[in-house]
Amino acid sequence: MKQRIQKIIASAGLASRRQAEKWIEEGRVRINGCLATLGDSADPDNDRIEVDGKPIEVESEKYCILLHKPVGYVTTAKDPQGRPVVVDLVQNLPVRLYPVGRLDLNTSGLLLLTNDGDLAQHLAHPRHGVEKTYLARVRGAVSPQTVQQLASGVKLEDGLTAPARVEVTRQQGTNSWVKITIREGRNRQVRRMFEALGHAVSRLQRIEFGFLTLENLAPGQYRRLSKAEVARLKQL
């Protein structure tokens, strides 16, 4: 059955549909040896589809993995600097998986990986605003005024952040533990929000993604989401 090229690439788990469209525009995609153009369709069972000269394989079975990302891993499939990457932690699975969004090198916690390009695009799209909750250890005592600023929005170099839910859970010596829930996905957003208000983050962990939690997974451990959980994710 013929499908749009960008959908086939997404189904293969190589990229989101939007990224696949960009690859087509850049001339990186071929169908049976001919350059693909936006709007082209193909039959993945009968046509040869290549990205950067390499034939793609459409994975029929979809996987969505919940991983407890440890500190020190890069949230990419490959790293030119040779640092450990999160896909190394799930390399024994029979499909190629790609991270949904990012956690920076020094942030641990809940990370989803999937070979379902449509699901990844849905979860990463700003329009859907999936809630993500973090637990941060920051330097200094966090005042009620700072909590209010975090909750109402912090002015960063890329604009004012959206409202957040914030709770100081405990004080520990000269540090504060703060739980913060955001709907955006800007680069290093939580760290930058605290830093803008004078609180350096010494530890950061994502503890929830939508309705999902880390449960009892240790760093480096993962589990496959059930079909019911994937269906709930698609409704977020």
Show the tokens assigned to 30. Answer: 């071929």
Would you list the DSSP string of 79-143?
A: -TT---BGGGGGTTSSS--EESS---TTEEEEEEEES-HHHHHHHH-TTT---EEEEEEEESPPP
Phi/psi of residue 51, each to 5°? Answer: -120, 120
Helix (H, G, I), strand (E, B) or coil at 226: coil
**Terminal CA-CA length for the chain:** 29
104 as an active site residue: the answer is: yes
Q: What angle do CA 230, 233, 235 make, to 5 degrees?
A: 120
Active-site hit among 104, 116, 118, 158: 104
Positions marked catalytic: 104
